[in-house]
Amino acid sequence: MANLEAIRHSASHVLAQAVLRLYPTAKLGIGPAIDNGFYYDFELPTPLIPEDLIKIEAEMKSIIKENLPLIKETLSKQDAMKRLQASGQTFKQELLADLPDSEAITFYSQGDFSDLCKGPHAAYTRDIKAFKLQKISGAYWRGKESNPMLQRIYGIAFETKDELAAYLTLLEEAEKRDHRKIGKELDLFSLQDKAGAGLVYWHPKGARIRHIIESFWKDEHFRNDYELVNTPHIGQSWLWETSGHLGFYNENMYAPMKIDDQDYYAKPMNCPFHILIYNSSLRSYRDLPLRWAELGTVYRYERSGVLHGLLRVRGFTQDDAHIFCTPEQMENEIFEVIRFSKSILSTLGFDELSFYLSTRPEDSVGDPARWEQAENALRKALSMEGITDYQVDEGGGAFYGPKIDIKIKDALGREWQLSTIQFDFNEPERFDMTYIGSDGNKHRPFMIHRALLGSIERFFGILVEHYAGKFPFWLSPEQFRILTINDSEATLNHAKSTLDHLKCLGFRGTLDDRNEKLGLKIREAQVQHIPFALIIGDKEAQASQIALRKRGEQSTTLLSLDEVEALFKGLQTQKVN
């Protein structure tokens, strides 16, 4: 049996063969295996519509049923070019032209179809037992906007039909949890493309949750011996020239603004500003470590085709921090960051974490001895925290330093990369950062970039999908809603005094005293995923009680106001998820 990657790659070839049978003039782009499936790019005479996937999928099943062998052929580059020219496949000719003349070229053929490809592949088309075409999208040839726009067909493939069915169920659940859908239903945020694509508008309820997260984030940083800084949104061009962003990152930066005959840029990163604060004073080894954190909003140009809700935007707030320390301090600093990250993520509902260590690449900068020292510090810190099952990406670090990435799993088992602990040997050199050591000489500090949530916007999107909009009590923008059964004076007085009392204690709630049926009010509270409905009528008012109904439950419990207060305080303090 072929491995899963080979099955998915072979499925892409079957897709291309089916398209050519249905659209003989189609031009082929590329068709790789990807996570959970495959895709293939085509230039076609007409735009595809979703209904076309049904007939393409049917043709694929026919090809699979034919049980064609996938046969590998090796040709010289010259003979390969002749074959592609004869078939009229211009995009394939372009790919072939980029290969070295001395390289042996491989084709894989199945029946009447042959494709330039390195493999791997299944032995027979019938090895593809469980697949489904998913969607159509546009893709520029080779990712360049100046090239033709092709039509990309995505599919999924698994070894068994049961695995495929399980994945389709997962996709259905993911669609229900889509943060864009829930964000609109709960009125949390919006994206106003007419005013600027990729820029987020936080509505009152979303802004309330953001405030809660940021307040928690700030308080925890103060508790963990960080200081907060705030820096400007723009900086002169020399700053970005010194940092290297204009040389290496310019295409992702917004265009400059001319102010007083100087070019200013919206900041894509916070780190150069923190370095300027560091360099504003002479630093001693006695001052270190310095831990400076900022919820700093940055702006990066992302192509419109990759923008995706809150997960890929152009303006976002990094939960950023930089640690400046001596070589002797860095092991403990890394250990504390790992511990801190685990604590923050656990409180926000993510306990299943994976750790990834990326080491020195070939094109690195900085003293190799410092690289070795930093990598050893990362390894030791992981070990100190009892983390032994981390994955190592040899040579996968940035050119300016090794790093640890922390990924979380959400309620659907999907993995998201959030926290990063990144050494930087580049910026301290570029900005000539120093401290006076115990020997009276100048030394270069170690600089560590550190983010816990990555960005507030992206994290919020992940959080919405993780909880499916049903936020835990301490994060809910509306923690309770009081529902009156009638509009008698006794009922309204009891409802209003209950609301005032709970709000004075810091809890967030509203009063629904409309002259509507209780069932309607309950349904509306359920749709908004409010943790508690507090139902009050004449009976409750006379007994000074409240009928409490918990989110997701059908029954109610009669409680006194003191008991409701104690319940809410416990949930708020414990931050129960």
Q: What is the CA radius of gyration of the chain?
A: 29
State pLDDT tens for residues 13-30.
Answer: 999 999 999 999 999 999
| 300 given a catalytic annotation | yes
Say which of 180, 233, 300, 370 is annotated catalytic.
300
Domain 4-177 has CATH 3.30.980.10: yes
Instruction: Count the alpha carbons within 13 Å of 443 in the hemisphere toward its beta carbon.
Output: 19
Q: How large is the average pLDDT for residues 89-115?
A: 92
Q: For residue 176, give both structure tokens.
A: 């229900």
Q: Give pLDDT, residue 365.
A: 83
Q: Give pLDDT, residue 366.
A: 82
- What per-residue string of b and e applies to 135-162 under the rule 16 or more CB within 10 Å gives b? ebeebbbbeeeeeeebbbbbbbbbbeee
Q: Give pLDDT, residue 577.
A: 58
State pLDDT tens for residues 97-106.
Answer: 999 888 889 9
Q: Give pLDDT, residue 1.
A: 45
Say which of 41, 52, 127, 320 is annotated catalytic.
320
Say which of 271, 410, 528, 529 is annotated catalytic.
271
Residues 6+ apart with CB under 8 A from 200: 189, 190, 191, 310, 313, 315, 316, 457
Whether 247 has a pLDDT exceeding 70, the answer reads yes
Query: Which one, of 422, 244, 479, 452, lies nearest residue 353 by Cα?
Result: 452
| 322 given a catalytic annotation | yes
* SS3 (DSSP) at 13: helix
Q: Give dist(CA 272, CA 487) in Å, integer.
A: 60
Q: Give pLDDT, residue 576.
A: 59
Higher-scoring residue by pLDDT: 312, 144:
312
DSSP state of 238: H
Whether 575 has a pLDDT exceeding 80, the answer reads no
Residues 6+ apart with CB under 8 A from 408: 345, 350, 352, 353, 354, 415, 416, 418, 462
Q: Give pLDDT, residue 274.
A: 97
State pLDDT tens for residues 249-286.
Answer: 888 999 999 999 999 999 999 999 999 999 999 999 99
CATH of 188-231+270-467, one of 3.40.50.300, 3.30.930.10, 3.30.565.10, 3.40.50.1100: 3.30.930.10
- Do 203 and 187 meet the contact criterion of CB atoms below 8 Å apart? yes
Q: For the chain, what are the domain ranges?
A: 4-177, 188-231+270-467, 473-574
Mean pLDDT of the chain, nearest integer:
94
Q: How large is the average pLDDT for residues 24-42?
A: 95
Say which of 274, 449, 494, 529 is annotated catalytic.
449
Say which of 8, 403, 450, 466 is annotated catalytic.
403
Say which of 110, 151, 318, 479 is annotated catalytic.
318
Query: Does this model's pTM top 0.75?
Result: yes
Query: What is the percent of the chain with per-residue pLDDT over 90, rounded to a whole number?
Result: 89
- Tell me the C-alpha to C-alpha distance, in Å, between residue 406 and each of 341, 358, 415, 416, 550: 8, 11, 10, 9, 34
State pLDDT tens for residues 299-356.
Answer: 999 988 889 999 999 999 999 999 999 999 999 999 999 999 999 999 999 999 999 9
Say which of 322, 360, 466, 521 is annotated catalytic.
322
Query: What is the percent of the chain with per-residue pLDDT over 70, rounded to a whole number?
Result: 99
User: Please, which pLDDT band fits residue 465 given cuts at 50, 70 and 90?
Assistant: very high
Whether 399 has a pLDDT exceeding 90, the answer reads no
State pLDDT tens for residues 185-244.
Answer: 999 999 999 999 999 999 999 999 999 999 999 999 999 999 999 999 999 999 999 999
User: Please, which pLDDT band fits residue 36 given cuts at 50, 70 and 90?
Assistant: very high
- Do 522 and 549 meet the contact criterion of CB atoms below 8 Å apart? yes
| 339 given a catalytic annotation | no
Residues 6+ apart with CB under 8 A from 198: 191, 302, 304, 307, 312, 313, 314, 315
Superfamily classification of domain 473-574: Anticodon-binding domain (3.40.50.800)
| 179 given a catalytic annotation | no
| Segments in 234-392 forming alpha helices (H) | 237-243, 245-248, 271-279, 330-347, 368-384
Q: Give pLDDT, residue 2.
A: 63
| 319 given a catalytic annotation | no
| 449 given a catalytic annotation | yes
